[in-house]
Every structure is written in structure tokens, then in C-alpha cells.
Structure 1
Amino acid sequence: MLRSLLFLLPLAGATTIESRSSQECPGYKASNIQQDATSLTADLTLAGAPCNSYGTDLKDLRLLVEYQTDERLHVIIYDVDEEVYQVPESVLPRVGSNENSNNDTVLGFDYVEEPFSFTVSKGDEVLFDTSASTLVFQSQYLKLRTWLPDDPYLYGLGEHSDPLRLPTNNYTRTLWNRDAYGTPNHTNLYGSHPVYYDHRGKSGTHGVFLLNSNGMDIKINKTTEGKQYLEYNALGGVFDFYFFYGENPKQASIEYSKIVGSPAMQSYWTLGFHNCRYGYRDVYELAEVVYNYSQANIPLETMWTDIDYMDKRRVFTLDPQRFPLEKMRELVTYLHNHDQHYIVMVDPAVSVSNNSAYNKGLQQGVFLHTQNGSLYEGAVWPGVTVFPDWFHSDTQDYWTGQFDNFFDAESGVDIDGLWIDMNEASNFCPYPCTDPAGFAISDNLPPAAPPVRPSSPRPLPGFPADFQPSSKRSLKRAQGGKGSKAGLPNRNLTDPPYTIQNAAGVLSMSTIQTDIIHAGEGYAEYDTHNIYGTMMSTASRLAMQSRRPDVRPLVITRSTYAGAGAHVGHWLGDNLSDWAHYRISIAQIVAFASMFQIPMVGADVCGFGSNTTEELCSRWASLGAFYTFYRDHNELGNIPQEFYRWPTVAESARKAIDIRYRLLDYIYTSLHRQSQTGEPFLQPLFYLYPEDSNTFANDLQFFYGDAILVSPVTNEGSTSVNAYFPDDIFYDWYTGAVVRGHGASLTLSNVNLTHIPIHIRGGNIVPVRSSSAMTTTEVREKGFELIIAPGLNGTASGSLYLDDGDSPEPSAVTEIEFEYSNGVLHIQGEFGQDTPATVEKCTLLGESGRTEVTQSFELSGSKEVKLK
């Protein structure tokens, strides 16, 4: 039942232990408390003389508490006049109360009147307690501290490259999006996700989401007395908290998806293998790479091109010599004729020398301006650039128009997906940027790049005639390549009194100047910096939908904010080719997929920067096959690393892609479920074993859905894995051999460079295609095999979702549930497709190994199949 009026009473005997800085500030006093069945409001008045430590103390605040659902509590503290910036609903739509709630909330709210503090509790267990310090609400600084349990298990607070379980001693997470080459540990990276999960074993998991896009330091530490706390230090905005609870971490993630939105569903083909390299010299080299993958018998679904294709790195242009339009269209046509795809990169910054895109933007007035009315200019890859103002009412039309023209299927480059980079936004001109031209990258190709070739240097059988060698064309050199409002008055928008630990330096360093005021409502970049990339993502998705409304748009972005997964996927940025980045990618992908609800995620396989090795790339080709977004990508100046360049890497890729492609419908089904319910696909071990404390800090293994445990080799030179198996039954993917887990680690030996240990978790039925293929289109033509892995009680279950693989709202779908017990497979569901899928065989796993039943049947209606 809803908590009684007791939740309005001050906490008896409450004590406050304040830090030194908090003792100087008076906090607030609550008064005029009003409540109804599902909410509470109060006035908060400054309880003494202002301390003005990092700004001006606001005298009068308002408190609103909403019991939105049985599992979610909303607490917002804002200024009475509502002049303080709040994240616009156009960026993150607000979730309201659920009228279907049973009024049986598990979360309770209590408070102390003076100095004001509050707690959020579940029964007798306190989950959030702000009595740890007095509340500070200033014009440019917010501070709130909550007590934590001793040695807590905390997760989230992305984006970072630190362990999955967050450190708890002298640890600071800074949220301020930046271009973070090498993704170094203990620094702010490309995205901001101010949500953390507190896992308490049998007591369940709760999450705390602070809806605030301002820069902030979130500190996790201990007092001198050894008491654990978490402390927010934000540069502005309001305290807009969403508290949510799940009986287990998986359920907590589902609750978070209800706040920020369920993730976008991806097309079937996007789950194939992708290849890219920054530094491909011309269209002929792109064709040669496509050809080489085919010759190596490595399935290549999508070819990508970095900014190399642009004319002097200017967006919405083609280098006329190295990537001429007619040749690009031939290449794309070749790919499409072979059921393959093509994707290019688009950056937000528009070159002032890009006559078409720049002049059109000037006409529509959609670029950022300084406060004196002049165009704001920075420097990115093409030199001096301007930046779209995503708040301007005409920017969407401008952006959509550029996509419609340049990516036109009839006359332009007919891309199948989009890659967004540099959208933190990145700016090469250091603050204060007085001479952007002086920081432009050279217009010439890097010295290592040879002259432009007029034709392919060697025969490429199957490609058009003008992709073949020719001695009649002269060589030409070309240039290009990749070398609420403004808020409270009197704020210092470039050098605020409180300094967050931004690894780039001052707020405006290497990004858009933070005193820029946006069009429309007049928001300051100081407040909206962290949502710039997500706003570009949303605008780009809409632009892609406009040019091709009948397919789901794939958009992969670098910079993200909470809720970005509803529109786009994410790659982890410019990592390095080393074992540390290989290992940490596991923690990163499961955090994004499960905790931040961006399930289409992956790292650059084999690493982007520095030189990979055959051993590392062999291991990474296998691991990457179990990301959701699987792409090999590296940087000019380093050795090429396409999978076909080493024998062991090629073999590793072939074996791993074979497994991945057979699992495509299992992946697709799970991602569809997450798009509908928020139930995560990629998961850390503790999501499935929430009471096993040995899993709580394990970030070197992960679950691929509920059924597949992936345990990669993570150390250089090793051919074994010290893999943890919870108290459950597992089956070796390759042999079907039973592994009875007892909550201990087992050494998996003889793991050669082309092998990755995989186990099926008991209790699952895994639908796989009967064989793999060179493209996802061909895979969809294969029949099914059902792998049945009984649990300890002898039963198993699974599901399968089928549609046309591409339509935003498919008209014909099949959704099937499988149940196995006592030798009988039960099949039921909705069978909406005109051509039913066929199960060619069932494989039953058990103590005696693999038992194959080659009984073929169609998935066209409910039925029972006897397997014994």
C-alpha cells in the first residue's frame, strides 16, 4: 500500500555529519508541506546566511516528490522562479505517473525539516540519505551527499574505461563530454550518463538517475571516520532525481528504460560484420578490401569509410579525384547487388569553405553565433568550421536537406547507415579560440599517402571493368584526407568558481565555447554541452528516416547522453590496440547495453590507435563477434588490420562469425525484446546470478542474452581461461559437454588463438540457423536448429521473433515460445509470416552429450514434438 502520512513526519533522532565545506553553508528549511495520495510538495528556504561558496545561494526553492509507479520515485528540487536551466523535454521526454499502479510502492520518502535532508527507503532499508551534508543550491554549484553502505557494489556513471564495479575510495567520476583519444582510465570520456546502480544482493538493486546535463564531479569516498558516501558536485541545473528499484539488477535496468526510453530496434543486417579503416586512399582500395574479404572467405556485411572520402575533409562532399561520385556509386551498387551495405562518417562541423552546405546554413541561420552576433568559428578536420545549433527551429530542415541531397539514392551516395563522430563537439582550436585558421589540419594528404591512382592496381574479378587495372590513364595528385534558457544572470559561463576534473582543462577547451547562447529558448552551451551529441544523433536519425522512411535507420554515434539509445547505437571511440583496451571493452559494452540502455554497442575490434599484433587481433576478432556492434576499424599511420592479413586472425574471424551468424536470430529476438521491454541483452554475470557475490565484480566474462556465457582469454600469451561458473549447469558450445558449476572458477585449457570458450546456460532453448553464410541475407534463407539445454530441473525454454528484418513497423511477424520438459518440446505463439520458417533438427544436450533429432517441421502453428 501507499505509505501513510508517517512519511511526512521528520525523522526522529536524525543526525547530520557534515563535511568541512558543508559546515559553511546553512542548508534549507522545509515548510508549507502539502501532500495528496501520490505526491508531496514543500517550500525550501535558505536556513541562514548564504555561504556563496561557488556562486550565489538561491534563497527559495521548491520540492516535488512523486510516487510515479510502484517501483519509481521522482524527487525534484528546483528554484521557485524556474529560471534555473533544466534538461529540455525535447531532448529527454519526461516520464509521468502510471495510472495502472497498484499503489503498492516499494520506495518511501522521509525528510528532516531543518536543515532539510531526505531519505529514500525500501521498508526498513535506507537506499539514499542526504543527511551526509547540508544541501547546497547555488547559481553555479549544486552539492548533495548521500551515505552509502560499507563496501558498496556500485555501477554505472558512464562513460568511463574504469572497472565495471566502481571504486569506492577517493574516486571521482567527471561527466563532461570530450574528445578522449585513447579512452584513458579515470577521466571523462565521450558521453555522460548520470545514473548509478547500487546492488545489494538478496535485497535487490536500486538505481539513482540525476537528470542534469551540466558538468559535474561525482565523488565516491569515505569520511575520516571511515563512513562511505557518494557526493554530487554539479555546475548548475537542478536536482532532478529518479529513484527506481528492481528485485534484481535486470529488473532495475528495465525500470531505467521506462525513464529514458526503450532502445531503438535495429535492422537484421546491422548485426553482420563491418569493416573500416581511417586512411583508405581511394575508392579502388575500398573495392580491393571488399574483394580480399571475399577471397579469404570471411563474411563482410558492410564496408565503411572514414572522412577520407570527403573533399578536403568537408562534410557532404566527395574528393573528386580519389572518391569520384560515379565510382562511388558503382561501388555501392556492387555492394548492394551482393547483399552488402555501405556506411560513411558525418561530422557536425561544417567548413566555411564548403560552399553548398555552408551557404545554405548561413541562409537559414542555423549555425552557432557568439553573444556579439558573429558566427562562432572553430577548427576541425577541414580547417575553419561552424557548428549547427540543434536548438534552432530550422536546423532539422537544414540537416535533412543535406542528407536528402548528398545521400540521394538516385544521384548521390546511397548509404545504408550513418556514422557520427566528433560530436562532443570536438574543436581543435584551443580556448580561447581567436585564430581557428591557425589550428587547421593541413589540406594535404598525410605524407605516408601515395598519389591518387586512376584505377585499381590489380584485377578485382567480379567488379566493373573500370575497377580493373588500366595503363592509359595518367596519375594525378589530389588533396584531402584526415590529418529553460540562458539561466540565472551573472554567471561565469567559461570559468565557473567550482572546477570539475575535466581532463581537457577548462570547460571550453577543445570544444564549443561554453558562453555560446543557443537559438530558441536561449539555452547556454554551458548547460547543454553534454547533450549536443545526442541532439545531433536525433536530428541525424530523423534525416535518415526522411530519405528512406521504409527502413529502420542505423546511426552509430560517439557522444551520448541518457536516452540516446532510443535513437542510436554507440561505438566506444578511439581505443588503442592493447590488451588493456581489449579487456575493458567487456565492462564498457555491458554497461552501455544493460545499464545505459544502448544495446547496439561495440569497441573498435583489434583497436583503433597504435599497432595491433596477430595474437591480440586473433583474440579480439573472436571477442568482437560477441559485441552487438561488430566492426574492425583502425587508424592511418598504423599497420592495416583487416582480418585477412594474418592466417590466425582470418581463421579466428571465420570461426567466430560462423557462430555469430548462426546466432543472429537469437540476437535479433533478444534485441527486439529489449526494444519493447528494456530487458537487457548483453549482461554482466551478476544480472543472472544476483545473489552470488563472486559475480559482483566479474567484468572479464559476460552473458550474451540469458543463454550464452562468453569467457574470452584476456591475457597476452595465455592459452587458458580462469572462468567462473556459478552454481548451475552449463554445456560447452562446441562439444555439448556438461560443466556443473559450483560457484567456483575452473581453468579452461588449450584455448588456441582461434578459439573462444562459450557455454550454454542450462534451462535455455537457443534457436540457431542450421548453417552460416557470407551475408545476413543468405543466413535468413537457412532453416533452424533448436539447441535444447535442460536446466538442473530438466526443463528449458526459449523464444524466437521473426519479421522482415528492416521495416519500422513490420506487418507480418512471428513470435514463438518454446518449452521443453519430459522429452517433449512444446511450441506456441503467433505465426504471422506467409512463409513459415523450418526447423531442420533439434539438438538435446545432456550428460550423454549431444543427441540430434533430425525431425523437420514448420514453425506454422502450435504443436508438440517428442524428442525421446
Structure 2
Amino acid sequence: MRWLRFALCLLSAVDIVLIYYVEAVDRSNFKTCQQSSFCRRCRGVQPGKSSYELHLNTLKIEPSSIEVEMINTQNGARFRFQLFALQDETFRMKINEWAPLKPRYEVQYALQGEPVLNKLTVIEKTAEFISVMAGANKVTVHAIPFRVDLFSGDQLVISVNARGLMKFEHIRPKPEQNEAGEKIEDEGGPHIDDTLSDPGAWEENFKSHHDSKPNGPTAVALDFSFNGAHYAYGIPEHADSFALKSTKNIDPYRLYNLDVFEYELNNGMSLYGSVPVLIAHGNTHTAGIFWLNAAETWVDILGTADQNVVSSIVNFVSGSATPPQVDTHFMSESGIIDTFFMLGPKPKDVFRQYTRLTGTTPLPQYFALAHHQCRWNYNDQDDVRNVDNKMDEYDIPNDVMWLDIEHTDSKRYFTWDPVKFSQPTEMINNLTAKGRKLVTIVDPHIKRDSNYFLHNDAENNDYYVKTKDGKVFEGWCWPGSSSYLDLLNPEIRSYLSSQYLLQNYHGSTLDLYIWNDMNEPSVFNGPEITMHKDSLHYGGWEHRDIHNIYGLLNTVSTYEGLLQRSDGKLRPFILTRSHYAGSQRYASVWTGDNTAEWGHLQITIPMCLSLSVAGISFCGADVGGFFKNPDSELFSRWYQAAAFQPFFRTHSHIDTKRREPWLFDEPTLLLIREAIRTRYSFLPLWYTLFFEHEQDGAPVMRPLWVEYPSEVATFALDDEYLLGDRLLVHPVTQPGVSDVSVYFPGTQDIWYDINTYRKVQGGGTVKIAVTMSKIPVFQRGGTIIPKKERIRRSSALTHNDPYTLIVALDRNGSASGTLYMDDGQSFDYREKKYLYLSLEFKGNKLSSRYIDTARYPTRSWLERVVILGLPPGITRAQAESKSAGRVTLETTYNTETQSLIVRKPAVSMAEEWTIVLQ
């Protein structure tokens, strides 16, 4: 290593930055729990020895809450315990110091507003406990030792501090030391506990970095037990299995937003985002918790992989075993204990309860759900034009071209390279003429350059984050020496938002959208490649308190800017790497810098499922892998998988080979083109699912147990998933296979291959043959899926194209579905300018009916109906609508597939209509 250090001394800072990005992940750059002093202390608490008690004689009862004084008997520290009843089967619990020496940070911006309170009724109170009711749910708070039991109806679903692992380190003066270096206790304050014996309690070193910890030890920790749960899910972001693994004898899952280069798979290391929401599911109940804390957090999981889970489930269902349980332990470095309990009882109830708190993904613009083409970097505007033209030449639909950091003038964001991108408006308009958009990158690091307006504004107005000494914080990122806007300050967020206005972002148009990257924030020469924890933000808060919401605040600023530039008319589109609870209200998320390897293709499914159940439905991964070069098979399979995942973008590193589809052999090109064209045919379904997600919070991409909550075999599956309740998708994620094993849920369900219309009976695993042109995708019997099968070069050009309906019948010969449509871009849909249709097939009659009073004047019409699973005997059909009257239609029946095609009903989708089979 000595030669390397010497070589680095001879290089410029920018060269050092580039060297950092040559090597793969170095685990030594990132802390383990043992190296994180607060995690070490919290994890060292012994079960069953809780020192926290409630003094119920101090009880205060309000219409929606109770408040009680809490004491730590080990050191006499006093706390305020509060329990709030919230609307929709939800409770909130807050624990804070009674009279802290300094305020402790309480997270803002994650919630979409102040939670709506519910009436709380005290049903029993003794010296040992108090029980309250809200709706049909009961909460019992035990005084000695402190414990909270939450019941959904009569079923105990969550217990708090049942294992006695609570720890709340109160803020205290730093103890003086005598000449021997021994700490002197302050006789006038609480008894000093063994927290102070930890050498990292008051200051801490990691590698060459020093953390001054001016407030000393401030950790908070609490355990939660989920009674009757078999698995826990969520707490993204980790490149690991969907069902959370036991952390017994290994590090806990870590939530601390970090730039982890070429991240490893199948472990709980931190990645770019932290969403501290956990959902536990059993065959009788689903419940969840939301740990509202923005500091570094570690989460232990027990009770999952510590036993043969499937065997225990079967034994429990048969009545021969005790109920299963998942135990969790949340540990954060600072802040307060602020926890929401979502009591279900069903999976969709928990999703609704959580997204009522943090919000849903607003309906994206239609183009955002289509295909995106990106690379670090397209060389110049001629390169962009050539790639765009090649898309048309090879008949590949595409909606968005992307530009990475090299499009700027020397890494100064909101600028353009004056030579390579000298005519940005013309470049954008050329794309817009084909119905396409442009996305440019805007990172949070600001180049320290006196010729850069943004830096000068920040310096002159004191907009930068400060060091612990009150000086402007400087770190290294892509531009070299950089500083970072203090986005905790509303004035500074407003300033950043204003930079997106067309008059400020020169060369931009309303058809340019934004990519926020490196916003963890990434600091190449900082501890763990991020900002120092003792850096200071607006209000005097340390970076340690707000670290995990910095990326959220970045996207809030961008969202407001895009909103303002169109006078609130157009829906923004933003992609972010760093994310937190609530990020879904502003941006889509991708899984960061992955690699062109089969394992990274496989991990896209559990990673997106974890994000989805944590409220972030608009997720995806770099198609083909960001690093390295995919071969033809991997590249084709990745496109086929991504065509059925919410965010669909190909992207690659600057040092990889160019990988536009036409650069591969013709068979590969045809496979990729077909995958993209398939995505475009299903865009009406995607759009409908995202509209419905905004209404009810149910994930668009969802695990099978959401629709089959008592079906044991679905609980740990993470190589297949559902889109809504309509499509079952099992991508091919292994090389050289000729078949894959697909689990088909629902013993009473029928599943139809979307290509061959072949039927498969649900309730078991079936080997499905696959060719290079096929991945297993099946439509659930009993559903109706809308499609547009006239594939054009961009989705905007299909706006008035006709629809095809795929009607897949269930055992009873019935099916239902929905179809949503609007202008595809504006917020007019929130003013009831849309069409939301109920589609139903029953008794050989297919009908379309308005779901609500909203209307939208679409020119689209019904081109074709395909009915699957229909017995023979139908010879004709009649369509009837107000404007067309009654019309006899042409039909074709296929005996082999038991499918009927009704051609050109030609009814307007803007009207209610009926098609009767005869």
C-alpha cells in the first residue's frame, strides 16, 4: 500500500476521485456494528432486564392521547411517554426526554401532513397497566417493566419492549476526568450509567476521520415483537432477499444512506436509501411499524431463519405448534423514539395505513412508464441525435433520452458544455417532435469555482452546510472541491427550486426532466464516502440527526422547481438515488450502481419488492448492469425482466462498451426490440395500476402474499411477483436454462400464458418451458387487462390509439377489470378530468361502465376483444352504445386455446357500452 499512498500524493484531487471509482466495494470503507459505538452499546443490552418504568400516577388523558412520565431506574433519567390514536387502525408512540439539556431532532418532511387523530377511550386502569381502545383495536401499556401490547380486534399483533431492549441515552454534560483519567460523576444530576464506559461514547474515530460528538451519547433503541408473524419485509435499501433474514451472529441490517460502489449481494450493508418501515406477515394477520428517525439506524431480526420456517408454519396451521413470532430491534444514533403502528389486519390495509402517513406516488406522466435510454455519457448533441434516429431506424420505441454529468460545463450543474452541447433547446425540440423527452442530471455537490454562479450565490448568501467549527464544509466529488447546500433551510430549498425555472436553467424547456444522483450525499474523501456527522445544518442540527433525509430534501427542492416552472400544470418527473420515507411523493427510485452479472439481475426483484412494500412503487434497476459488459443472453433476459418492472431504463458506466441494441447481433436486437414493444402494449395497464396506487397505496409491483395472504408457499418467494392483481411475472434470471419452476398461487385460480393463452391451474409449482424469446408471464383468470397493440416510436403518439381488452375468465366464466385514461401529463386529473371505467364480463356479456362522475373526451375506441377460457358455441356478438346503436360483430373462435376474438367493436371508450355474445 505504501506505493499507492506515494502515487496518490503525486495526483490531483480529481485524479484521486477517479481512482476511487476504479475499484470495487471496499468493505473497510464502511462501518460494522462493532465499529459503530452506539450500535455496539445498544446491541449489548441484555434481554429481560429493562430498567424503564412508567409512573401511572402522572397519567394525563386527552381525547386522542395519553401521556405518562417514564423513569430509567438505572440512572434516574426522566422521559415523556405519549400514545396517540390515529385514523385508520393506526397508533403513534413518542418517547422523548422530559426536559433535555438541548432539543432532540424530530423528523420533518417524511409525513405528508399532520396525522389525523382518532378518539381514544380508556377501558381499564390499574396501578400496573392502562388499556385504551380506538375503534376495534386495543392497546395495553404496562408500567413495570415498561411494555406496550397492541391488539387488532382480539389478536395480539405487536409487543413493544417485550424483550426489554429499550435504551434511551439522555443528553448530559461531558463528565470531567481526574488526573488518572477516571470520569467524575456529577452528584447533582442523574446517576452516570455504564454508557460512559464505551470509548466511543463522547468522541469516535473511524479510519482517518474524527467525530467530535459534541452532544455525547444520544442513542435510542427499542424492540418490537410481531406475534403470529412468519416473516418480516421492508426496511430498504439492501441488496438482499425480500424476506428479511435473521441477523443472529451477523451484523444487523443498516439504514444509513451511502454511496456504495459496486455493491455486494446478499447482505445487510447500507445502500443509497433508508426507509425505516417494516411489515410483518403471518397466515392470519399483517402488521407494520414505521420508525420515524433520520439518523444512522441498525435493525436486528430474529425468529425467521432461526428455525425451519415453512415447517413451523405448517405445524402452526395444523394446530401442533405455538404461534410463530418475529422479533426486531431498532437502534438509532440520535433523535427520539417516534413510532407508528399499522395494525392491518390485511396486507392492503397496512399499505393504506402507511401511505396515509407518508403519501403515495402521484400518477406519473405517461411517458415516464415507457422505455428510457441512458448512458454515462452520450458524447454530444450529435451523439444524442444519432441514437435517437437509430431507435426509429430499428423500430425500437423510446420515450426518453438521458444525459449524465459530462453534458455540463465542467461539472457545473444547470449548465451545458459550450462545445458538445451548444444548442440544447434545439436538441430537446428535435426529441419533442417525435413525442420524446430529455432528462439531465443535477447532483447536490456544488463546484467551488468563482466562475460558477451557483457557488457564488451560495457563498454570498451563506447557503452552504458548515463544519463543526462553523466554517463552510468542503468535500470532494465529481467536480473536485465541492460544497453542499444546506437543504434543511427552507430559504435555501426555495433558492435551489428557482434554478429549475426556464429563465434560470438556460437551454431547458418544459420537456426536460431531472435526475438527482449522488445525494446521500456522496463525499469521496469523507467518512464512509459521505458527510461528517458533526457538520452543522440550519437550526444548529448536526448532520448525524438528519443524514437520511438529505436526499429527500434534495428531491423536494427539485419537485417544487419543476412544479413552479409550469405554473403547477405539469406533473414533474424525477429520478433519485438517495431516498427516505416520503420520497415516493416526489421521485422514482432506481437501485443504483449495479453490475452486469446474473446475480444483479436476480436481485432486482427482491430489491424492488422491498421498496414497493415500503411505499416506493416507482422503482427499477439499470438494465444490463451499470458496470461491466453484459453478453447477449444476459442483456436480452434483463430487458425482458425490466419490461415488467415499474421503472424501465437502460444505463451503463462511461468505461463500458456502447450497448445500444443495434450494436448486438440481429437475434439479440430482435429479442430486445420485442421486449420493449411488449412493454408499450401494456402501458394502459401500468397507467391504470399507478392511478389506483395513488388512491389506495397498494404496491404496483407486489409480492404474491398480498393477494394470497394465507398461502404459505408465497411467503418467502422473491423470484416472481404480481403486477396489481392481474399479471404473474417470473423473469428468467439464470443463464442457459430451458425451463423454470413457477409457483402458481390460488387453488381455485386459473392462469393464462399471455402469449399462447395456455391455461395453468393454480395451487402449485409447474415447470414452464422457456426459449430466448419468452419469459413466463401469466394473466390471472377473472381479470380484464387493457392494452394498446399499435406500437409506435413513442408513447405520446399512441394517445388516441384504440384499445384491446384481454378478458381472462375464471372458473365461473366471469372477469372484471378497470381502465384509467387522461391527458397523460397534467394535474387536470385531480379536477375530475379523466375516465375511470369498470370492465365486467358476466353471463356472456362484456360491459364498460363509469366508476365515478369524472369525464375525459378521449378519441380512443375499442379495436379488439380477446376472451380466454370460453367454451365453444359462440357464433356472433353484438355491440351497443349510445352513439353507435346496436351493431353485429365479427368473431373468431380458436378451439385449441378456447379463445374468442371479437373484431372491431368500434365503440367509443368515452361512452358506456355493452357487447353480448350469442
- 1:714-733 → structure 2 map (5 Å cutoff): 714-726=733-745, 727=747, 728-733=749-754
Hey, what does 1:351 align to over in structure 2? 447
Deviation string for 1:661-719 (max 9, x for gaps)?
12111111110111122122111111111111111111111111211111111211112
2: distance between equivalents of 1:400 and 1:865? 51
- 1:123-138 → structure 2 map (5 Å cutoff): 123-138=154-169
2: distance between equivalents of 1:522 and 1:867? 71
Amino acid at match of 1:29: L
Task: Say if 2:899 is the partner of 1:850.
Answer: yes
Deviation string for 1:716-763 (max 9, x for gaps)?
11121111111210111012221112x2111111x2223222111011
| 1:609/1:355 CA distance change after superposition, 3 Å | same
Amino acid at match of 1:161: A
* Preserved CA contact (<8 Å) 1:152 1:168: no
Hey, what does 2:835 align to over in structure 1? 814
Amino acid at match of 2:140: D
SS of the residue aligned with 1:786?
strand
Hey, what does 2:398 align to over in structure 1? 300
SS of the residue aligned with 1:291?
helix
The partner residue of 2:264 within 163, 180, 184 is 184
* Preserved CA contact (<8 Å) 1:115 1:134: no
Hey, what does 1:161 align to over in structure 2? 239
2: distance between equivalents of 1:119 and 1:93? 27
The partner residue of 2:141 within 111, 122, 139 is 111
The partner residue of 1:713 within 718, 723, 732 is 732
Deviates more, 1:852-861 or 1:141-150: 141-150
* Preserved CA contact (<8 Å) 1:72 1:243: yes
The partner residue of 2:293 within 202, 212, 224 is 212
The partner residue of 1:823 within 841, 844, 850 is 844
The partner residue of 2:425 within 313, 329, 333 is 329
Deviates more, 1:820-829 or 1:177-186: 177-186
Shift of 1:637: 1.3
* Preserved CA contact (<8 Å) 1:63 1:78: yes
Deviates more, 1:412-421 or 1:754-763: 412-421
* Preserved CA contact (<8 Å) 2:396 2:677: no
SS of the residue aligned with 1:621?
helix
Hey, what does 2:69 align to over in structure 1? 43
1: distance between equivalents of 2:367 and 2:350? 30
* Preserved CA contact (<8 Å) 1:853 1:867: no
* Preserved CA contact (<8 Å) 2:86 2:116: yes
Hey, what does 2:17 align to over in structure 1? none
SS of the residue aligned with 1:857?
coil
* Preserved CA contact (<8 Å) 1:671 1:681: yes
Task: Say if 2:697 is the partner of 1:678.
Answer: yes
1: distance between equivalents of 2:857 and 2:228? 58
Hey, what does 1:580 align to over in structure 2? 599
| 1:20/1:334 CA distance change after superposition, 3 Å | closer
Shift of 1:190: 0.6
2: distance between equivalents of 1:790 and 1:412? 49
| 1:143/1:738 CA distance change after superposition, 3 Å | same
Deviates more, 1:702-711 or 1:121-130: 121-130
Deviation string for 1:342-398 (max 9, x for gaps)?
111110011011521111222222111224332111110001011000122421332
Hey, what does 1:566 align to over in structure 2? 585
SS of the residue aligned with 2:280?
strand
Hey, what does 2:278 align to over in structure 1? 196
* Preserved CA contact (<8 Å) 1:119 1:129: yes
Shift of 1:274: 0.5
Hey, what does 1:630 align to over in structure 2? 648
2: distance between equivalents of 1:105 and 1:864? 42
The partner residue of 2:791 within 759, 764, 772 is 772
SS of the residue aligned with 1:131?
coil
* Preserved CA contact (<8 Å) 2:742 2:768: yes
Q: How many residues align?
A: 758
* Preserved CA contact (<8 Å) 2:64 2:117: no
Hey, what does 1:248 align to over in structure 2? 346
- 1:727-766 → structure 2 map (5 Å cutoff): 727=747, 728-741=749-762, 743-749=763-769, 751-766=770-785
2: distance between equivalents of 1:225 and 1:837? 56
Shift of 1:145: 2.0
Shift of 1:94: 4.5
2: distance between equivalents of 1:405 and 1:837? 34
SS of the residue aligned with 1:132?
coil
Shift of 1:222: 6.0
The partner residue of 2:53 within 28, 49, 59 is 28
Amino acid at match of 1:125: L
Shift of 1:778: 1.6
| 1:49/1:98 CA distance change after superposition, 3 Å | closer
Hey, what does 1:291 align to over in structure 2? 389
1: distance between equivalents of 2:627 and 2:858? 47
* Preserved CA contact (<8 Å) 1:34 1:40: yes
Deviation string for 1:95-142 (max 9, x for gaps)?
423569998634321122122122222314342241201522104112
Deviates more, 1:61-70 or 1:124-133: 124-133
1: distance between equivalents of 2:435 and 2:225? 56
Amino acid at match of 1:42: V
Deviation string for 1:313-363 (max 9, x for gaps)?
222222222222x2x332211101111111111100110115211112222
Amino acid at match of 1:40: I
| 1:35/1:398 CA distance change after superposition, 3 Å | closer
* Preserved CA contact (<8 Å) 2:258 2:528: no
Shift of 1:275: 0.6
What are structure 1's unaligned runs of at least 5 residues?
Answer: 1-17, 51-58, 431-507
SS of the residue aligned with 2:634?
helix
Shift of 1:279: 3.2
2: distance between equivalents of 1:758 and 1:586? 14
- 1:595-634 → structure 2 map (5 Å cutoff): 595-634=613-652
Hey, what does 1:534 align to over in structure 2? 552
In the superposition, the TM-score normalised over structure 1's length comes to 0.84
* Preserved CA contact (<8 Å) 1:770 1:840: no
Shift of 1:30: 3.1
| 1:405/1:861 CA distance change after superposition, 3 Å | closer
| 1:386/1:406 CA distance change after superposition, 3 Å | farther
1: distance between equivalents of 2:739 and 2:282? 32
SS of the residue aligned with 2:499?
helix
* Preserved CA contact (<8 Å) 2:470 2:536: no
SS of the residue aligned with 1:636?
coil
What are structure 2's unaligned runs of at least 5 residues?
Answer: 1-42, 122-132, 171-217, 308-324, 871-894
Hey, what does 1:666 align to over in structure 2? 685
| 1:567/1:20 CA distance change after superposition, 3 Å | closer
Shift of 1:772: 1.9
| 1:836/1:289 CA distance change after superposition, 3 Å | closer
Hey, what does 2:522 align to over in structure 1? 426
Shift of 1:21: 3.7
Deviates more, 1:40-49 or 1:148-157: 148-157
Task: Say if 2:888 is the partner of 1:863.
Answer: no
* Preserved CA contact (<8 Å) 2:107 2:293: no
Deviates more, 1:234-243 or 1:150-159: 150-159
Task: Say if 2:497 is the partner of 1:400.
Answer: yes
| 1:228/1:603 CA distance change after superposition, 3 Å | closer
1: distance between equivalents of 2:583 and 2:306? 40
Shift of 1:609: 0.8
Task: Say if 2:383 is the partner of 1:365.
Answer: no
The partner residue of 1:262 within 345, 352, 360 is 360
* Preserved CA contact (<8 Å) 1:160 1:588: yes
| 1:651/1:248 CA distance change after superposition, 3 Å | farther
* Preserved CA contact (<8 Å) 2:574 2:588: yes
* Preserved CA contact (<8 Å) 1:669 1:800: yes
SS of the residue aligned with 2:779?
strand
Hey, what does 2:182 align to over in structure 1? none
* Preserved CA contact (<8 Å) 1:582 1:620: yes
* Preserved CA contact (<8 Å) 2:860 2:909: yes
**Pairwise CA RMSD:** 2.4
Hey, what does 1:312 align to over in structure 2? 410
